Amino acid sequence: MIGILKKVFDVNQRQIKRMQKTVEQIDALESSIKPLTDEQLKGKTLEFKERLTKGETVDDLLPEAFAVVREAATRVLGMRPYGVQLMGGIALHEGNISEMKTGEGKTLTSTLPVYLNALTGKGVHVVTVNEYLAQRDASEMGQLHEFLGLTVGINLNSMSREEKQEAYAADITYSTNNELGFDYLRDNMVLYREQCVQRPLHFAIIDEVDSILVDEARTPLIISGQAQKSTELYMFANAFVRTLENEKEYSFDVKTKNVMLTEDGITKAEKAFHIENLFDLKHVALLHHINQALRAHVVMHLDTDYVVQEGEIVIVDQFTGRLMKGRRYSEGLHQAIEAKEGVEIQNESMTLATITFQNYFRMYEKLSGMTGTAKTEEEEFRSIYNMNVIVIPTNKDIIRDDRADLIFKSMEGKFNAVVEDIVNRHKQGQPILVGTVAIETSELISKMLTRKGVRHNILNAKNHAREADIIAEAGMKGAVTIATNMAGRGTDIKLGDDIKNVGLAVIGTERHESRRIDNQLRGRAGRQGDPGVTQFYLSMEDELMRRFGSDNMKAMMDRLGMDDSQPIESKMVSRAVESAQKRVEGNNYDARKQLLQYDDVLRQQREVIYKQRQEVMDSENLRSIIEGMMKSTVERAVALHTQEEIEEDWNIKGLVDYLNTNLLQEGDIKEEELRRLAPEEMSEPIITKLIERYNDKEKLLPEEQMREFEKVVVFRVVDTKWTEHIDAMDHLREGIHLRAYGQIDPLREYQMEGFAMFESMIASIEEEISRYIMKAEIEQNLERQEVVQGEAVHPSSDGEEAKKKPVVKGDQVGRNDLCKCGSGKKYKNCCGIGK
């Protein structure tokens, strides 16, 4: 183990030594850059751009460009980047992750590679976890870039399309990860090129990269529409589940968080719903609703997993403790929780477009990131994103005192000790940050401190609005701040001058399942060489301890006669905790890797569809593409009706009926014409006739209108079919894991069936486009229309109210539109008669 660590450390040291040489080159240029006037310094930007056009690369320009930014930062911001910040900038420029500790100036570091890469004119995206940070960084660092002659844009959720286009057209764009992903999805749902907002994805620097690419990796971005379903079944399932007894009628596994009905529970359900067999195919929906109601009651907890706010269920982010307004649990779980809490049950949603952060950010030409904690996830960053983690040395040595964990027998004993420690430190005026894992823990400690007369602030999902103010006060003398996980990430806790020699005390009330989150909490103390102390308090009743076998340890404490107030400091327990955390991290990494393998199936399909949509949008003439679709449709129809070996068994009448109904006019092709031909010869006369009919259609309209009509049809069909396909893939994914019981690899099955479904969708698209082109009355059908109304389901990790944006129009059938039944008639002359 020591050998491996030494090897890793040596690799990092070699990188640091290499970058140190570049830093020395930058330092050497200072004497020639410093005397320049402001105008001459700005002029360097134009000079660099010209040199790029003449064949130099951004790598060639790096030392000079970094020297220019350092001098500009000194003049504009009053901050001169240290040597270690230059190293961090080099690592970012090379497409790696700079691990820089809290307070080391990551924001200033980012300006160096941002400026250098923005010189190409292809656009640089600086990505933050919330809009407050995006606005702050764009405002503060934007001054520096604008001084050097570059344009800076900020991309916010509330902006209009025109404002977004302007933001993306800038040399440098500040945005949240959510907004970038949603803009990408929206751009692939528009009908006209001028409605797109993003440029091709060139270079991105992600702040708090571990939060976005690891913690949020399993969260798909979804644009969804409403699926109309009855809410009654949720009410019935909820009422039934309330009557169940734990262990007798359902079982719950704490480690896997799996809950299911027992035999007694199944019998009770069959009696309650007056059915013979709950597992009959006709009762699939009922069983699904009962299972989700069980999960809502047993697995999901109020004020831990979600809160009730203004009559709505709002999810709590398990990593940041922030409210995620606008995000909903899928597969009916959200509705089950709404039934449980007695709030209005909203309709389930249908996915119109979706992508994960993993697949979105892998589309950039170059990707890099910054964080204080990434080394524990290095393997994941390297294997999934092809980024190495470079640990950048601190500007000043860390003198923080990280104390060994104190372990108590019970939660009560632990919390009493935590409060006692807070009271003692508070009396001495030391500022204290208390880290909790759940909202209810922060509120419990708050009540205990109130009883002791200790004034304090709570920083959790419920009062996100005051976050910046609370963080600003957290380093003052006597301040006590209780924070859920790392709410307030991205903002430094600066110490008051009167307690600089004491430092911040960080008290952890529980170990998180990820070492990285614990390290983030520790990292709040001891920034920039300040003193500080960190102490974690654990109990045998903590979730992490319960999940990974604390029973033996608890029994040992009982045998030793230890009471609740006696802690133990045991290296064995600390090692066991770390081992448990590593196991959880390993499980979570495997889950994210598996998600990526499944998501890659949809990614490949999405890329095909989106590429074809772009081609359709940019194409002047779709005639040849549509003729190809017609040819494929005819060949499939011929093959389907002539698949029997004996000629007498061929269904030629059925083939002619199909052609007359969907593609040709009555009498265009006769049975006797086809009976004389072999199957491979039948397609030619049919396609010849189709082309004739296509030419006749063309004569009815001016060229420009005919070309637009083709686009109208293609967009409407492709978007409808693709939406239905995403939904079908969702359903396939939900049940695919059951194949493992038959000794079949679920992933391989998902890949094969997903491919078959995609092929089937393409065939269906080609057939429907062919039918619409040949059968539709086209005079009035010349406006491109979105096929269904959708809104972005925001996984808003910044906890701000996510404004639900309509991204497409409603699926209303106009009276003069083509009827959806496929007859080829206008709606008013078909299914819309009398409406």
What are the binding residues for ATP?
Answer: 85, 103-107, 492
d(CA 70, CA 148): 11
- Amino acid at position 192, single letter: Y
d(CA 174, CA 176): 7
Binding residues are 85, 103-107, 492
CA–CA–CA angle 495, 513, 7 (5° rounding): 80
Q: Which residues contact 338 (CB under 8 A, 6 or more apart)?
A: 234, 313, 344, 345, 346
Running DSSP on this structure, what letter comes out for residue 494? Answer: P
Question: Tokens in use for 317?
Answer: 């982010």
- Amino acid at position 17, single letter: K
Dihedral of CA atoms 577, 581, 584, 585 in degrees, nearest 10, equals -170
- Least Cα distance to 605 among 747, 733, 760, 755 occurs for 755
Query: How many CA atoms within 13 Å lie on the side-chain side of 615?
Result: 10
Question: Tokens in use for 95?
Answer: 């497409």
- Amino acid at position 116, single letter: L
Beta strands at 220-226 and 172-176: parallel, antiparallel or unpaired: unpaired
Do 629 and 713 touch, CB atoms closer than 8 A? no
The residue length of the chain stands at 835
- Least Cα distance to 319 among 518, 506, 505 occurs for 518
Phi, psi (degrees; rounded to nearest 5) at 408: -110, 160
d(CA 327, CA 639): 47
Do 423 and 549 touch, CB atoms closer than 8 A? no
d(CA 230, CA 735): 22
Distances (CA, A) of 773 to 141, 403, 493, 767, 830: 54, 74, 64, 10, 18
Question: Tokens in use for 213?
Answer: 């690419």
d(CA 449, CA 509): 14
Question: Tokens in use for 416?
Answer: 């009493």
**Burial code of 595-612, b = ≥16 C-beta within 10 A, e = fewer?**
bbebbbbbbebbeebbeb
Beta strands at 790-793 and 806-808: parallel, antiparallel or unpaired: antiparallel
Do 361 and 493 touch, CB atoms closer than 8 A? no
| 3 state DSSP class of 188 | coil
Distances (CA, A) of 38 to 72, 81, 465: 8, 18, 40
d(CA 311, CA 85): 48
Rounded to 10 deg, the angle between the 83-93 and 106-118 helix axes is 50
Residue 407: left (phi > 0), alpha (psi -120 to 50), or beta? beta
In angstroms, the first-to-last Cα distance of the chain is 76
Query: How many CA atoms within 13 Å lie on the side-chain side of 832?
Result: 15
Q: What kind and span of H or E run contains 819?
A: none
| 3 state DSSP class of 162 | helix
Beta strands at 258-261 and 250-253: parallel, antiparallel or unpaired: antiparallel
